[in-house]
Amino acid sequence: MTKTLEDVARGVNWYTEADLLLTDVDRFLCHVMARGLADEIIAIQQHFTREQFQKAYRAAPPGLFTKRAWSYWGLMLFDNPAMAMPERFPGAGQFDWRRVT
């Protein structure tokens, strides 16, 4: 583990220890994509492949990405800014609470 990776891990996820976050590459890369600064992203791209970023994006936990960040990375990684975001409660957006009695 390099100093750069530790510094970026601390910057993108302040509530988890850097070494613990770095043990889960997908989770770490999701945090970098969702919260990383441009220079942090560039530094991380030197350590991980495009395929690793794509795998992490597909396995992203619900609620981590903003719509803007999700669209950006969908465009950069898959040439598709309209990929469906992960949902905490799939289908809940179609549920009409007014019809429940």
> 9-59: per-residue pLDDT in tens?
999 999 999 999 999 999 999 999 999 999 999 999 999 999 999 999 999
98 falls within a domain: no
- Total tally of structural domains belonging to the chain: 1
101 falls within a domain: no
Confidence band for 88, pLDDT divided at 50, 70 and 90:
confident
| Total-model pTM | 0.86
List the domain range (segments joined by +) for residue 62. Answer: 3-83
Please state, in angstroms and as integers, the Cα–Cα distance from residue 28 to each residue in 11, 45, 77, 80, 96, following that order: 11, 12, 17, 22, 36
